[in-house]
Amino acid sequence: MLLRRINTFQLLNGRGAVESIRNLELFAVKGEPYEIGYRLGELARPVFSAYMEQSSTWRAVSRWRGAPYVQALRDAARLHFPALLAELDGMAAGLHWPAEDLFLWNCRGELVHHARDGCTTLAAVEGATRLIAHNEDGDPFLRERCALVDVQPVGKPGFVSFYYPGSLPGHTFAANRAGLVQTINNLRICTPAAGVPRMILARAVLDTHSLDEALRTLRAAPAASGFHHTIGWSQEPRMVSVEVTAQRCSVVEIGTRAGHANHMIHPGCETQAQIITESSRDRQSRVNALLQAAAFPLTKEALLAMLHDREPSGLPIYREDPLDPDAENTLATALFELGAAGVSMQVVCGGRRVADTFIPRTSPASAC
């Protein structure tokens, strides 16, 4: 069996030991790209059709069937990351969906500016302690319909990621067995281009073995639209904030603390057209204020409290209103601590810690 549900929500950590996963389902998937995709599709099949039927984003995306621009996106994905396109085609087969339609869905950020993918990320460097915390905001329909997946591709490090049904893992929050952590925030870019879809590019980062290799991947491939990536690696002290768009790849090293919502904030971003929603503006402002006022050192508990902030003077960081103006709610909160031996990961849903595990770093040779 290539897809295995791990009983009592436990995670095999790469050396045969077992770590605790509580109340959030985790599925282990291994093999070649198409096989991995097929099993991920099988996993999503029970909820995917209902998810699409209620999705206004899918109704907007589906109008792009047969468009030359979509073919250009697929051609770019095939040229730069053929294995990940095979993974996506396998997912379509596992879902019993046309490959064209699933590819469209995974290009929603290129095709629809108001795709329901939000998120807020915080990062802190406090001496030898490096922390990344992240709110995963998405379609409220997906509350309690997502999962964690332990993906183990042949010849790659493998990773643990939050998984939206029918979307390539990696565009949410994840840590790989090379010690790399990546969290993703939606950017609403007004001028996409013919290039690699952002969800495929984010997934490609999880196949890298170092921070420098991750940055080379983001810089080398032509991006079709935009994501913000927060990336850290267990083997060096720096962490980076990366705004990737079709026009540029902006990398800013995180000094002691940083936060990012859903619009570009790096110097020079004012030259690029983007949509800044009221929620994103309010969350960025509140994050900046909380980080500035926070005591030193910035603890794990403090970061989680910030991401669960419900400041009443504006639209909140923690999103639970069914009438949220972006139609997004917080589905999960993740907290990563990077250390020399690997990455500790906690996941909180609905105020309860539902996952608590350690993902040890393995060498490139042992990962193959």
Per-residue pLDDT of 187-212, as tens digits, reads: 999 999 999 999 999 999 999 999 99
**Which tokens belong to 83?**
């294995």
- Find tokens 């697929």 and name the residue: 74
**Which tokens belong to 303?**
């970061």
Calculate the average pLDDT of the chain.
92
CATH class of 3-367: alpha beta
Q: Are 122 and 335 in contact (CB under 8 A)?
A: no
* Dihedral sign from CA coordinates of 43, 48, 50, 54: positive
Each domain of the chain, given as residue ranges in start order, spans 3-367
Q: Is the pLDDT of residue 15 over 60?
A: no
Tell me which residue of 98, 95, 93, 103 sits closest to 69, measured CA to CA: 103
- Residue type at position 358: F
What is the pTM (predicted TM-score) of this model? 0.93
User: What per-residue confidence (pLDDT) applies to 118?
Assistant: 86
Taking each helix axis as running N to C, give the angle between helix 82-95 and helix 33-53, from 0 to 180 degrees, rounded to the nearest 10: 50
Per-residue pLDDT of 90-129, as tens digits, reads: 999 999 999 999 999 999 999 998 777 789 999 999 888 9
Tell me which residue of 183, 116, 117 sits closest to 333, measured CA to CA: 183
Q: Is the pLDDT of residue 12 over 90?
A: no
